[in-house]
């Protein structure tokens, strides 16, 4: 038992980093034995990167020269990735450590200089004549680079002249300045005041604490938090609306400057994703809205509400599920759930989780939340802030384990240049693990309340990841189309557009507060548009793959998906695993699971 865990399962004083038992932390000596070794590697990169200059103006002179450039850059990138990995993990473990912060800042400065030194490589590859480029790809000495070169070459129609690229680069900071404005306004300048909780105790309301008010059993507390939170956005609504409008204008400008048909197609280009996939998602979700409306009606009845508001949609329907699951027991549950994936998967993961892949518990200065992070040839480390009395932490562990094993398999099957998978695929492996965990826990529980809790959790995961993110994706599609059609982007046009979406997605029997229209101004992803749809497609693919594996399908196909890394574009990668995301069927299947779970919850609690 760790010294900061009391025998009664409560949490004592949060320790400083040096008080955490070594066995509960990740073993970064697998990256560098000492900080001095990191410094030596850093100085080597400092010396070596200037060697790129020898190929400036010569990248396309022959296949051999092109290979030499790519191999030099690869060796440099391997070192850079490892340096950055070590520096970021140390800072994540203790961001109060001045030495860690200085190391990371020094690395970022070097990265900027390397970026400047290597900027000529991509344009020179694009400048190679088509016939010569095609001949190069047939050369055996470039066989390992064909995938990388084809991916890079795709951008040729959207690469401008050197002077035009320089102008876009010079203006990039100004074009993206709206993101910093939004962050400073919402994270620093906005003050939300204090809200009395269910016991009459006033607590500070912030962007972070808002969600904790929404899970309170007392409806009046939830309502007060909602009203206070959106009152502050209402006070700054014109400023935030202007910021969002400029974000959309920047997206459209950049897409037009680079000769894309639309901002949406520009954003989808890197994944070679047709807009039909985006549109299929929206149309399929809209066709399945009645099941969502039925769930809201059930939630209203179970919470005994006269009417249901948005601030009533996060409080758990099943309350007071008390658990006490130590780390090893959580590992047991996750590994048992993932047993269908075979011995290699579970043995490797078990050794990592019980070894030192994972930085397990909270300490002062440690980054909040959880993530998985790796560099080529090194362990896929996991950051957790595990709490044994929070049941959701078991799901978080399964989720991050999915990312880590995706990386583990990809590294062993692909060369460095092809192992890194895109975000479109990243969320599949993680949410797939959560699906298997839910199936396992439902199979082993005999407690009706726990069963209801697990079913409700899965319902809310699909609601939040497929339904809600699709509504966001539709808002991004509509507002960018408005700018491209020359329609005004104003506070009122944003509110009207979002109000229409709220009415459709929440349904006719839902009480929509007028201030909820301002939600469209506070979603951070809207300032990095056309990203959220990947959450919805990722979970849809994960549900489909989980059903295949649990139904006795070929597990090797799923493991093949993990091994593929970034060797292919997302759609063919998933198609080989058995899921055609170009069609609406996987999304419809995931929403059929949602509807089934709503019926089960009605039967259990109705």
> Residue-wise over 24-62: b if at least 16 C-beta within 10 A, else e?
bbbebeebbeeeeebeebbeebeeebeebeebeeebbee
Average pLDDT over residues 232-243: 96
Average pLDDT over residues 372-387: 95
CB 121 within 8 A of CB 69: yes
| Residues recognised as catalytic | 400
CB 512 within 8 A of CB 506: yes
Candidates 1.10.1370.20, 2.30.30.40, 2.60.120.1310, 1.10.20.10; correct CATH number of 261-486+530-606? 1.10.1370.20
Question: What are the Cα distances from residue 575, in Å, to 50, 560, 570, 571, 583?
Answer: 42, 11, 9, 6, 11
Q: Distance between CA atoms of 97 and 250, rounded to whole angstroms?
A: 37
Q: Give the three-state DSSP class for 567.
A: coil
Q: How many CB atoms lie within 10 A of CB 503?
A: 12
CB 81 within 8 A of CB 375: yes
Residue 10 has pLDDT above 70, yes or no: no
Question: What are the Cα distances from residue 436, in Å, to 10, 334, 395, 433?
Answer: 29, 9, 10, 5
The CA-based angle 196-198-204, given to 5 degrees, is 30
pLDDT 10s digits, 498-543: 999 999 999 999 999 999 999 999 998 999 999 999 999 999 999 9
CB 329 within 8 A of CB 323: no
For residue 592, name the pLDDT band (cuts at 50, 70, 90): very high
User: For residue 371, what is the enclosing H or E element?
Assistant: strand 371-373
Residues near 190 by beta carbon (within 8 Å), at least 6 away in sequence: 207, 232, 233, 236
Lowest mean pLDDT of 101-105, 179-183, 588-592, name the range. Answer: 179-183
Average pLDDT over residues 11-33: 90
| Terminal C-alpha separation, the chain | 41
Give me the residue label for tokens 């130590």.
Answer: 326
- Classify 204 in phi/psi space as left (phi over 0), alpha (psi -120 to 50) or beta: beta
Instruction: Specify burial of residue 502 (Cβ count, 10 A radius: 0-12, 13-18, 19+).
Output: buried
Q: Can you give the pLDDT at residue 186?
A: 85
Q: Can you give the pLDDT at residue 377?
A: 95
The chain-wide mean pLDDT, for the chain, equals: 93
Q: Can you give the pLDDT at residue 560?
A: 97
Nearest Cα to 281, choosing from 420, 416, 80, 474? 474
Q: Distance between CA atoms of 404 and 349, rounded to whole angstroms?
A: 8
Nearest Cα to 58, choosing from 118, 124, 138, 123? 124
Two tokens, residue 233? 């956005």
Two tokens, residue 444? 């082993």
Q: Which residue has the higher pLDDT, 167 or 296?
A: 296
CB 243 within 8 A of CB 181: yes
Torsion of CA 581, 582, 588, 590, to 10 degrees: 10
Length of the chain measured in residues: 606
Q: Can you give the pLDDT at residue 207?
A: 80
> Residue-wise over 458-490: b if at least 16 C-beta within 10 A, else e?
bbbbbbebbbbbbbbbbbbbebbebbbeeeebe
Q: What percent of the chain has pLDDT over 70?
A: 98
Residues near 223 by beta carbon (within 8 Å), at least 6 away in sequence: 309, 311
- Classify 373 in phi/psi space as left (phi over 0), alpha (psi -120 to 50) or beta: beta
For residue 322, name the pLDDT band (cuts at 50, 70, 90): confident
Q: Distance between CA atoms of 89 and 66, rounded to whole angstroms?
A: 34
Question: What are the Cα distances from residue 309, in Å, to 297, 468, 599?
Answer: 11, 15, 22
For residue 173, name the pLDDT band (cuts at 50, 70, 90): confident
Q: Distance between CA atoms of 106 and 463, rounded to whole angstroms?
A: 43
Q: Can you give the pLDDT at residue 6?
A: 29
Q: Can you give the pLDDT at residue 63?
A: 97
Domain boundaries along the sequence of the chain:
31-159, 261-486+530-606
For residue 7, name the pLDDT band (cuts at 50, 70, 90): very low
Q: Can you give the pLDDT at residue 209?
A: 82
Task: Give DSSP secondary structure letters for 346-384.
Answer: HHHHHHHHHTTSEE-S--TTPPSS-EEE--TTS--EEE-
The CA-based angle 48-52-57, given to 5 degrees, is 165
For residue 12, name the pLDDT band (cuts at 50, 70, 90): low
pLDDT 10s digits, 410-462: 999 999 999 999 999 999 999 999 999 999 999 999 999 999 999 999 999 99
Identical fold for domains 31-159 and 261-486+530-606, yes or no, is no
Q: How many CB atoms lie within 10 A of CB 192?
A: 18
Nearest Cα to 372, choosing from 398, 393, 394, 390? 398
pLDDT 10s digits, 453-495: 999 999 999 999 999 999 999 999 999 999 999 999 999 999 9
pLDDT 10s digits, 88-106: 999 999 988 999 999 999 9
Residue 392: CA count within 13 A, CB half-sphere: 10
Lowest mean pLDDT of 120-129, 225-234, 243-252, name the range. Answer: 120-129
Candidates 3.40.50.1100, 1.20.140.70, 3.30.1330.30, 2.60.40.420; correct CATH number of 31-159? 1.20.140.70
CB 435 within 8 A of CB 542: yes
Q: Distance between CA atoms of 367 and 371, rounded to whole angstroms?
A: 10
Two tokens, residue 132? 């010569």
Two tokens, residue 379? 């362990």
Nearest Cα to 144, choosing from 406, 486, 416? 416
């Amino acid at each position: 038992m760790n010294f900061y865990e009391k025998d009664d399962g409560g949490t004592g004083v949060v320790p400083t980093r040096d008080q955490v038992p070594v066995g509960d932390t990740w073993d970064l000596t697998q990256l560098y034995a000492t900080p001095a070794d990191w410094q030596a590697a850093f100085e080597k990169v400092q010396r070596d990167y200037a060697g790129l200059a020898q190929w400036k103006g010569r990248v396309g002179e022959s296949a051999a020269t092109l290979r030499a450039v790519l191999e030099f850059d690869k060796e440099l990138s391997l070192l850079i990735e490892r340096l950055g990995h070590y520096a970021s993990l140390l800072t994540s473990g203790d961001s109060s450590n001045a030495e860690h912060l200085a190391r990371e800042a020094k690395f970022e400065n070097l990265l900027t200089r390397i970026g400047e030194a290597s900027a000529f490589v991509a344009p020179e590859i694009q400048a190679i004549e088509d016939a010569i480029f095609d001949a190069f790809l047939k050369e055996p000495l470039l066989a390992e680079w064909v995938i990388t070169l084809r991916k890079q070459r795709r951008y040729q129609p959207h690469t401008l002249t050197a002077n035009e690229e320089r102008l876009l680069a010079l203006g990039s900071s100004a074009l993206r300045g709206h993101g910093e404005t939004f962050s400073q306004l919402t994270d620093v300048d906005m003050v939300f005041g204090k809200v009395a909780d269910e016991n009459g105790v006033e607590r500070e309301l912030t962007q972070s604490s808002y969600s904790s008010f929404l899970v309170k059993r007392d409806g009046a507390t939830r309502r007060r938090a909602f009203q206070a939170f959106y009152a502050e956005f209402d006070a700054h609504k014109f400023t935030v609306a202007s910021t969002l409008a400029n974000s959309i204008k920047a997206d459209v400008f950049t897409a037009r400057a680079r000769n894309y048909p639309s901002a949406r197609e520009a954003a989808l280009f890197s994944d070679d994703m047709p807009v039909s996939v985006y549109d299929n998602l929206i149309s399929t979700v809209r066709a399945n809205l009645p099941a969502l409306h039925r769930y809201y009606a059930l939630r209203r009845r179970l919470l005994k509400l006269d009417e249901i508001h948005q601030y009533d949609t996060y409080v758990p329907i099943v309350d007071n599920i008390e658990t006490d699951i130590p780390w090893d027991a959580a590992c047991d549950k996750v590994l048992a759930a993932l047993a269908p994936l075979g011995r290699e998967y579970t043995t490797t993961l078990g050794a990592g989780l019980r070894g030192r892949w994972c930085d397990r518990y909270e300490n002062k200065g440690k980054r909040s939340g959880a993530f998985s992070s790796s560099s080529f040839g090194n362990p896929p480390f996991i950051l957790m802030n595990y709490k044994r009395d929070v049941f959701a932490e078991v799901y978080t562990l399964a989720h991050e384990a999915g990312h880590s094993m995706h990386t583990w398999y990809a590294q062993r099957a692909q060369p460095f240049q092809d192992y890194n998978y895109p975000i479109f695929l990243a969320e599949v492996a993680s949410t797939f693990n959560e699906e298997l965990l839910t199936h396992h826990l439902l199979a082993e529980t005999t407690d009706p309340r726990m069963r209801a809790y697990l079913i409700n959790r899965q319902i809310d995961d699909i609601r939040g990841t497929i339904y809600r993110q699709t509504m966001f994706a539709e808002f991004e599609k509509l507002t960018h189309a408005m700018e491209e059609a020359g329609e005004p982007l104003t506070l009122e046009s944003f509110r009207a557009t979002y109000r229409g979406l709220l009415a459709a997605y929440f349904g006719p029997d839902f009480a929509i507060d007028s201030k909820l229209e301002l939600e469209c101004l506070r979603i951070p992803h809207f300032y990095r548009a056309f990203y959220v749809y990947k959450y919805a497609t990722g979970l849809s693919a994960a549900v489909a793959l989980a059903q295949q594996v649990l139904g006795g399908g070929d597990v090797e196909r799923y493991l093949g998906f993990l091994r593929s890394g970034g060797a292919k574009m997302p759609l063919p990668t998933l198609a080989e695993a058995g899921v055609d995301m170009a069609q609406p069927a996987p999304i419809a299947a995931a929403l059929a699971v949602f509807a089934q779970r709503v019926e089960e919850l009605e039967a259990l609690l109705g």
